[in-house]
Structure 1
Amino acid sequence: MADEAGPDRPSGLRLGAFLRSSGERIVQEWSSRVRALPIARALPELALRDHIPDILDGLARTLEGEGSAVHLRAPDLHALARLEVGFDLQEVVTEYGVLRRCVLDIWSRESGELTPVRDVLAFDQAIDAAIGAAVATYTATRERTLRALDAVSNAALNSEGLHNFLQSFLVGLRETSPIVDSASMYVVEEEELVVRAAVGPAQEESLGARIRLGECLAGRAALAAAPLESVDTREDPRITSAGINKERLRSAYAVPLLIESRVAAVIVVGSEKVRALSDEDRLLVRTLAARAAAILALERSRDETHKALAMLSSFTESSPLGLAFVDTELRYVLVNTALAELHGRRRGEFPGKPIRAFVDPAQLEEVERVLRRVLETGEPVVGREFTMELPPGSGRMLHRLVRYFPVRGADGAIWGVGVVGEDITERRSAEEALRRSRAALSESEQRLRLVVDSLPDLINIVGADERYRLTNKAYEAWFGVPPESLAGKRIVEVIGEENYRTAKPLFERVMRGETVRHEHPFVFRGGRRGFVEVTFVPQVTAAGRVIGFVSLVSDITERKRREAEDLRRLEFEQQLIGIVSHDLRNPLSAITLAATVLLRREDLDERATKTAARILASAERASRLIRDLLDFTSARLGRGIPISPREVELHSFVAGVLEEVRLVYPDREFPSQQAGDGRGAFDTDRIAQVITNITSNAVQYSPPGTPITVKTEGRAEELAVSVHNEGPAIPDEIRPHLFAPMHRGVLPGDSRARSVGLGLYIVKSIVEAHGGRIEVRSTNEEGTTFTVLLPRQARKRGG
């Protein structure tokens, strides 16, 4: 290396000129070398090199004796840009070391000679001064930035709730940057920006103000998702929102807070001091905005995590399934109450404990084997069932269905095993009960099939398509075909066209949902004609749709024949009785009139008088018999016995009837009793006929000399007449037919026929015509009592 410069000019002057003339080459080579540093790769090209030309110019001026350390100082923006990507002091110094080597290497290559010692020393002194200035700038900027970031961090740590954090953040921002006089925080809520925090003169009044996206400075910054600046705010038409005091501020700067590339809020800072914020101040605001966005994202993530954990906890606790998480050491990490209860333990006993502390020893080996298999293979194991006695010795067997599946982290590594346990004891019990029910049902079906097949009637189930689904064995007897061959066949194919035409309208009715009962002619096997009774019941789904019907068909040919014979016999009997009764009334009336006239004559001797009296008594008995026959005919023909009710007092009316009965039976006593209000409406002639008939029976079927007690009673809604006689009870074999026509009671040893057996039948018919009823009580100890119960007001019937 030479000791001196050339004679023409000092070496410092030559090196300074070289720095000016070769500045671009120096910047390019320096940029290339610095890019080799990993930390520098994160810097944008402009932020990396835009200050180097000024540094080279400052070095040249210093070497030429025209500059000072002020010209070697990099701007604060240089330091902030490097702080943003994580530069430390060593890396800042390294940048200048690279610059030193670039300058000397290029100088040596282009001058073709060794650099003089004095030049090197002068250049080193200038570079050292530049390094010192850069370190001072970096340190000052770093301290300022750290103070601002500390303020943000403290705001996050010491604030409760989003509003308090935002307010504290703006206070810290204002204190850190002296040129900032006011600041507002606009939070994105749906499609609007809402002022949620504000500091500065009169800014509190803007809290709660709303603007639309794209409106004013904040709205436009949010819509563009990029910072926007307002220079000379008073004249800027974009400044229209309540969040900025347009009259006082000279400049404003809006920076969006981005969370996952989406705008969450916008910070707007304003200054009354400067017309435009410096690059360093704008970068500081952006740095703090980025930190605030990161804190907001963290808070939002924390809130979402808390909500997710709360939802997970609520889900696991409300789940009827037992849920657990087992780590790779086979220890419980998480257990819900349902799974703890499956083990008969409390939930808090599980976390951190090995599974062997809770699993039944008889099943422990199997459970551990399954868990390790899931951990090793990463494949789930489903449907493993365990049966245990719980509590031990109780004899109560419980069934558990357990599923195991791997739980993986974000990197795919297996963290542990998820366990889902389900108590299926009730299911197993239900399945066993269902199995027993099916067996019982099968047995019942077999018994039902035996019963159905033993019936002579046709029983079948028919679908909506009129095809047989089920038939019984009677089809073989009726049509000569085995029932198992009928499934799927149409009805017309089995019963024939003639029978089908008769039944078709009935099929249509039942398919409309109507239950059908009908009797109609039927052509049987071999051409025999007869009658059938059919019952069709629709099969209806839960939705109300008819899908078929159940059919019961009975052969009623014999019943129809008997009914026809009975009807012919009944008609003949009724005609005979009607003719006899009607044709006998005229001669009997003549006999009664003649006997009555004879008895009124005073010239008859005693013998003739007795003969006339017997004739009159016999004629009256014959008249009563004819009246009974006529009443019987009327009742049997379905017309009922006609009545004409009128208002009567029961007690006095019955007393009058008893006087007439006493005349007929002078040798018997008829004591009477009355109770209650006897007023009512009934047919006096018919009720007199009832009382006379019952009292006459009481006389005939009671021991001679015993009293016949008659009691009348007025009750709340009805009138009662009871006739009691002593003597043996009515025989059991007679009681079922007591009120049937043509039946009469005969006392032991008494073969005389006192009547044709119509009396009590007509009594019952008269009482029922009044809407009443008749009751009989008969024992050997108490005797026999007939009680007639009539409504107080009977209605007229017939005529």
Structure 2
Amino acid sequence: MAKGTSPALRKFSASNGDSRRAPGIRNPKTELEAAIQRFVDLYDFAPIGYVSFDRAGRIEEANLAATELLGERRDLLIGRPFAFYVGDLDSFMRHLLYCRTSQQQVETELQLKPRNGKQIPALLCSRPITSTTRNGALLYQTAIMDLSERKRAEEALRAKEAELEAIINRTPFMLTRCSDDLRYRLVSRAYARMLGRTPEEIAGKPIIEIMGEEGLKAISPHIEKVLRGRTAEFETDVSFRSVGAPCLHCVYTPDRDSKGNVIGWFASIIDITRRKRAEAALQKSKKLLEERVRERTHELRVANKELEGEIARRKGLEGEILEISDREQQRLGQELHDGLCQHLTAVAFMARSVALRLKNHRVIEVNDIEKIAQLVNDAATDMRNLS
């Protein structure tokens, strides 16, 4: 140390040259190693598989998740071509080519072929890096994401969508799904058939383009109601361009997103035009029947009055007939009394006369006996005539 140096500076220089460090002074080498170890641990124990391969596609680095995904020990993976574990070689070669010609992240979906032979759908996300452990060599650090769960979910979703589409297309009811900006998102074949179109021609179109202003005006109050989150049910004549105005029974149900916000509505629609026509025809028939019933009732009342009059007249005639019959009976009785009694009196008188003559032993005149017989015969004839 040169002369003139202050004692404090000399003390500092002496302490700085001592191999022992004072308490509280950090060791950069130790911290760097710890940071590197933390990075290695994060890399090794990451839940996503990571590999780094060179321009030729040989694996230079791999974490534990990658070894588990590929079904191979790390010491066997290092130095082996990644293509060895790819089921779709063309896709991987295109991926490697894009990595060589681009400085951006390259993503490719392909099929991995682990050692167990069961292919796995995966997504490769590669980004170029400069390796400090490989003397600055260019490597492509690649995240390998297992898409099995996502593919299964997508397949299940496609199956559900196909099932829903089959239900929508086969149901006799008309179904639509509309957005809050008044556009068709989905329509059933039955709905499209009513309009003389295909579902593809209607989906995505504004409602006003399909229905026209008059038709949209007819359903606007119900759209406002369903967009406020309430179910709307109604029957009305709805006008469509080039179709007319069929009478429809509609039920609008709010369509909500995952947060519960109304983003549109579902519509279940039934064409009730024929039913309404039948109801109108029935109502007309009912009214006509009521008129006919009223007319018939009036006719029956008139006929009833006429019948009552006829009954009254016949009752009068019956009384007259009974009265005439009584008088006739009286006349007959009187005639019987006058005529028959006279004959019987004459018979009795003649018989008395004959009896007196016989008593006196006098001769009986034949004429007297014939006279009695004649009177009896006349009485019998009068009785037959009267009867």
Instruction: Please identify which structure carries the higher helix content.
Output: 2
More contact order relative to length (CA 8 Å, sep ≥ 6): 2
